[in-house]
Amino acid sequence: MQLLKKWFIFTLILLIPVIGQDKKKDSKPLASKKKKGIEFSNNQNTQDYLKMLETAFYRVRESYVDSVNESEIIKAGIKGMMKPLDPYTRFLSGSSKDRLDMLRTGKYGGVGIQIGLRRDTLTVLTPFEDSPAYSEGIHSGDQILMIDSVSTKGMSLKDASKLIKGELGSVVELTIYRPSARTKISFELTRANIVIKHVPYWGVDENGIGYIRITKFSKNTAKDFGTGLQELIDENLKGLVIDLRGNSGGLLNNSINILDKLTDRGINLLNTKGRIPKSNRKMNSRRAPKLSPDIPIAVLINRSSASASEIVSGVIQDLDRGVIVGEKSFGKGLVQSMYNLNDTTTLKVTTAKYYTPSGRLIQKEDYLNNGFLTDGLDKKDSLFITRGGRTVKGGGGITPDVEIKRTSLPPYVQGLWREGVFLTFAAEYVPMNGIESPIIITDKIYRDFEVFLEEYEINYKLPGEKDLNKLKTALRSQDDLKKTTNTSILSKLMFWKKSKSAILQLTEKVDKYYQNKRNGQYWDPNNIKWVKNGLLREMSLVASGNREKIRVSLIEDNVYQEAAEILLDSNRYYDIFEPDPESVEVEPVQE
């Protein structure tokens, strides 16, 4: 008991700085003080509250009606301590800590496959190159039936991932069903260190426009970006597109290291400001750029681009080093620091805000609604000036220089993707027919896919169908419409024919219209392009891997195509950097 008590008190002492009290600097009572939503009364200081917490714990442990899990109670208490703070300050344990460790180390113990559910069946989406799964011959589209002796029927992705991952050097047996061979195969895979590839693709098109996709900022991201960038430069690069769409961020230092390769030496890239001195940092580029300043850059962002993605896009915009294309970003301008409490738990604490070179804080309105995290930037249009004199807004994310939304897929095609039929078809069709890259979707492939779809029921709603169903529901509540309206003498004599209800008569023509529309969806000209694109992407994945899938996905990507056109048109590109003559006088970015 004494050992538990000492450990409990020691854990609480570790957390004292988090809840707003630094004994060395301020031993006075925190009268009427507020820090991040925590309020202390006039007559009690932090030590009183810690004593209260300790007393509460021992009262529960000694008096509660059933035995209690003491460690879980303590962890729940720490989690509760985080609740009044911002949503990024969290107590991490279990799978949440595992994800953080993967980000920090850039690797994990596993077999190297990306998995998903297709028609409730656990399916291999892609095996990673140079992984145990890849080396042993597991393919995209393979269906995982068993993990060791455990059936995957009804298993969640989270549970499956937990079973497949494990200690380095240990063995896991996967029993798979391969659609193309129509047979079961067992694989014994030795778990290894799987290096995460968060820069999954780079390449140059026929016009010299290079493209690099970054999905996360983990330990290896900047290094992989540098490798890809150098290969593009060696291929006579004329313009560079950096795709940060859907990138939720990651390690701040990796975003700075990437900017180092794109900006002039010695220029200010980012500043962070926090309550304690070590949180206040000024970060400048440290070396000559790897990419020539004469090569234009476009950065793609959307509403899911956050944190480190916003650092890269915001800095490039502030320095007028490139154009930002897409949708307004998420709006996370906060920096977290990690504090390990023990081997299995970590505190992730917001310790600073970051500011781009123009002085912008791009954090959106905070969750406490007290202005603490945003400096009030969400309350007004705070204008800042780029290196070349353009005005840009602070608060609420990065606003693109060229705003454009990605073309939405038609409802029918969305239904096909949700059902997973593109990969299911490709996994069987490509090997059976010996198809190799580059894939060309022929009329025969398109007709064969139509036949394949006959065994599937694709769920989707056409425009207006949801409103029609709401109307039907509303009409059913009307008493005068519940009666049948066909009261002719003939209908009464033909008593065996059921009369149509008023509701059915009202909606019959609309229902017939939608039925006809549904029957023609596969050959609808608006859908054919997107069905072929889905086949092209998944058949390329099966035939050549994820890199080829990403490459062909750009063919119908209107945001990428817009960015490429801007980079190829020098007049249009440089016109974007021209200051607005009516812009407000604000101090420009200082070097």
Q: Which positions are annotated as active-site residues?
A: 307, 318, 332
Contacts of 503 (CB under 8 A, 6+ apart): 472, 475, 476, 481, 482
Instruction: Please state the length of the chain.
Output: 591
Tokens read off for 411: 């409802």
Cβ atoms of residues 245 and 300 within 8 Å: yes
Spatial separation of the C-alpha atoms in residues 164 and 159, rounded to whole Å: 9
Spatial separation of the C-alpha atoms in residues 367 and 37, rounded to whole Å: 10
Query: Closest by alpha carbon to 462, among 538, 385, 519?
Result: 519
Spatial separation of the C-alpha atoms in residues 549 and 537, rounded to whole Å: 5
Sign of CA dihedral 483, 488, 493, 497: negative
Q: Give the DSSP letter of residue 298.
A: E
For residues 371-381, one letter each, b for 16 or more C-beta atoms within 10 angstroms of the residue's C-beta and e for the rest, the string is ebbbbebbeee
Residue 288, Cβ density class (10 Å: 0-12 exposed, 13-18 middle, ≥19 buried):
exposed
Our CA angle for 38, 43, 45, nearest 5°, is: 50
Spatial separation of the C-alpha atoms in residues 45 and 113, rounded to whole Å: 52
At how many degrees (to 10) do helices 443-452 and 421-432 cross? 120
Tokens read off for 250: 């990651």
Cis peptide before 410 (omega within 30 of 0): no
